């Protein structure tokens, strides 16, 4: 099956599994994986320290630049965005040109599994996850083509399901003579 000829993008709340699942899906598909938070860290240092020194607004501005640069790279690959990346309208506009996978989980699962010390918005208030999700959920829904729950299946099962979806999306979005490329509607899969 054919893969999309551009990045498949993973979005979702903090600690939903975008990086760990993204790496597995990229391996399953035989394409590169990019974590935009990791790119930011390589270029600007630790995110928690950057937040403290420069503030969230400056972080979001530079994060949007990193994302735009990564999405401009041609070819199929998996790109995982930070949880707040969808807050920038410019990023949401860029995502319209890519297949977008929303990964969802629960606050209970996050508090059980996440390293809170590495999550600047949760570090001082672990219960903030639910409030942050409530603010961002409409934006995730706006950009997502499909949604998967990461707390309801193993990473292996999810990687296979998402890889299968990405292959299907690539096939459906391939230009057909005399027809516009079709984008599947946002749907939820477990």
What pLDDT, in 10s, does the model give residues 88-147?
A: 999 999 999 999 999 998 888 877 766 666 666 666 777 788 898 999 999 999 999 999
How many domains are contained in the chain? 1
Please indicate if the annotation marks 15 as binding a ligand: yes
pLDDT at 128 (0 to 100): 83
Q: Rounded distance, CA 26 to CA 98, Å?
A: 16
Please indicate if the annotation marks 60 as binding a ligand: yes
How many CB atoms sit inside 10 A of residue 21's CB?
22
Q: Is residue 2 part of a domain?
A: no
Q: pTM for this structure?
A: 0.85
Interval 13-50: pLDDT, tens:
988 999 999 999 999 999 999 999 999 999 999 988 89
Please indicate if the annotation marks 18 as binding a ligand: yes
CB 68 within 8 A of CB 7: no
Token pair recorded at residue 31: 């394409």
User: What is the CATH number for 132?
Assistant: 3.40.50.300
Q: Is residue 1 part of a domain?
A: no
Question: Coil, helix or strand for 10?
Answer: strand
Please indicate if the annotation marks 2 as binding a ligand: no
Q: Is residue 117 part of a domain?
A: yes
Q: Which domain holds residue 105?
A: 7-174+184-189
First-last CA distance in the chain: 22
Q: Is residue 179 part of a domain?
A: no
Among candidate residues 13, 25, 166, the one with its CA nearest the CA of residue 85 = 13
Q: Rounded distance, CA 149 to CA 158, Å?
A: 9
Q: Is residue 81 part of a domain?
A: yes
Please indicate if the annotation marks 36 as binding a ligand: no
pLDDT at 129 (0 to 100): 84
Q: Is residue 145 part of a domain?
A: yes
């Amino acid at each position: 099956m054919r893969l999309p000829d551009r990045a498949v993008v993973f979005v979702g709340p903090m600690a939903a599994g975008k990086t760990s699942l993204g790496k597995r899906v990229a391996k399953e598909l035989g394409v590169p994986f990019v974590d935009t938070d990791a790119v930011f860290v390589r270029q600007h240092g630790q995110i928690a320290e950057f937040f403290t020194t420069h503030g969230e607004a400056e972080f979001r501005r530079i994060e949007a630049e990193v994302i735009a640069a990564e999405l401009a790279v041609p070819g199929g690959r998996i790109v995982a965005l930070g949880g707040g990346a969808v807050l920038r309208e410019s990023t949401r506009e860029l995502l319209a040109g890519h297949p977008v996978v929303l990964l969802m989980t629960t606050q209970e699962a996050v508090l059980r599994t996440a390293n809170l010390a590495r999550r600047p918005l949760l570090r001082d208030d672990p219960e903030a996850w639910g409030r942050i999700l409530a603010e961002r959920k409409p934006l995730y829904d706006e950009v997502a083509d499909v949604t998967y729950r990461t707390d309801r299946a193993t990473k292996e099962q999810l990687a296979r399901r998402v890889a299968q979806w990405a292959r299907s999306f690539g096939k459906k979005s391939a230009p057909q003579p005399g027809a516009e490329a079709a984008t599947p509607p946002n749907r939820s899969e477990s």
